[in-house]
Amino acid sequence: MEKVIITAALTGSRPTKAMNPAVPYTPEEIAASAVKCYAAGAAIAHIHVRDPATGEPSSALELFQQVVTLIREKCDLLLNLTTSGLHIEGSDAEERRLLPITLRPELCSLDIGSLNMKDRVFSNHPDWGRMAAKKMGTFGVKPEIEIFDVGHIAPALSLIEEGYIDDPPYFQLCMGVGWGIPASAENMLFLKNKLPSNAIWSVLGVGKSQLPMITMGILLGGHVRVGFEDNIFLRKGVPAKSNAEFVQQAAGLVRTLQREVATVNDARQLLGLANSSASLDDSGSQA
């Protein structure tokens, strides 16, 4: 089997310091957490940003820029910046969602399906998926296709067929999110078997499902995501002290199940990012 790529989802938009004081808010906290995850075995950091004073979700490009700069100064961790619109409103919401792409991280998340969550609608119009995928391609950014339910696979396949997403397509199976697909072994197998044969896939589990879902993902030949965005407890009743603790736990599990943890260079090869460091001009074209 392939080596296992571990993604650290550092802060998300929902967990707070009131829930767990170790949840990072400021660019300095988020970047420091990413570097520690890198040392623990993560190859990718999935990044949201927060208002440094309040901890509220933010889409400010300058905050993303600070985090990217701080991490790049310390390590070569692959960066996956969110383009989620869950907390972005207004007539210019789609344009603001696209701004992180202009920083040219290796990856950006691509939400292509809508979902009823328990407290709001997570809306992603089909035109948004095409627009975002096209811009990611222009800037040399690989989409991480977010799958919250089985119906989200069909628009992903359409984008692939239309040439908006290069091979190999990369999917994140999001298990147990809101009223999306429940986190179970049966459902993971169901989703996995719906993906293209050449797909690279990773799995996350929310809350108490994190450990069972990543275990199943490792056994099935997939990759895994852990971190405060998805869970604040290392085990039942034990709050995690850091994102790096989740990465260490995942890396130990990978080795116990007789697979190997992917380095950053391994992840680049697996995801087809070998040339992603090539210089780009201001339009996003290869220089």
Q: What angle do CA 182, 83, 276 make, to 5 degrees?
A: 110
First to last CA, the chain: 36
Res 80: pLDDT:
98
pLDDT at 281 over 70: no
More confident residue, 125 or 136: 136
- How many CA within 13 A on the CB side of residue 196? 19
pLDDT at 285 over 80: no
Residue 117 CB neighbours (<10 A): 13
Kind of pairing, strands 238-239 and 233-235? antiparallel
pLDDT at 282 over 60: no
Residues 119-126 have a mean pLDDT of: 85
pLDDT at 284 over 70: no
pLDDT at 155 over 70: yes
- What proportions of the chain, in percent to the nearest 5, are helix, strand and coil? 35, 20, 45
Res 122: pLDDT:
86
Looking at the chain, the whole-number percentage of residues with pLDDT higher than 90 is 84
Res 241: pLDDT:
98
pLDDT tens string 35-78: 999 999 999 999 999 999 999 999 999 999 999 999 999 999 99
Whether the predicted model's global pTM rises above the 0.75 cut: yes
Strand blocks (E) in the chain: 6-9, 44-47, 49-50, 57-58, 78-81, 107-111, 115-116, 121-122, 142-147, 170-175, 200-205, 223-226, 233-235, 238-239
Res 1: pLDDT:
82
pLDDT tens string 211-236: 999 999 999 999 999 999 999 999 99
Res 268: pLDDT:
97
List the domain boundaries for the chain.
Answer: 6-271
Residues 9-32 have a mean pLDDT of: 97
pLDDT tens string 75-110: 999 999 999 967 777 777 888 899 999 999 999 999
In whole angstroms, what is the distance from residue 168 CA to residue 183 CA?
25
Distances (CA, A) of 74 to 66, 77, 284: 13, 9, 25
In whole angstroms, what is the distance from residue 94 CA to residue 260 CA?
39
Distances (CA, A) of 56 to 11, 49, 203, 227: 11, 9, 26, 18
Residues 148-153 have a mean pLDDT of: 96
Give residue 218's identity as a one-letter amino acid code. Answer: I
CATH top-level class of 6-271: alpha beta
Residues 144-155 have a mean pLDDT of: 97
User: Which of 118-122, 136-140, 279-283 is predicted with the least confidence, judged by mean pLDDT?
Assistant: 279-283
Q: For residue 100, what is the enclosing H or E element? A: none
Burial class (CB in 10 A: 0-12, 13-18, 19+), 120: exposed
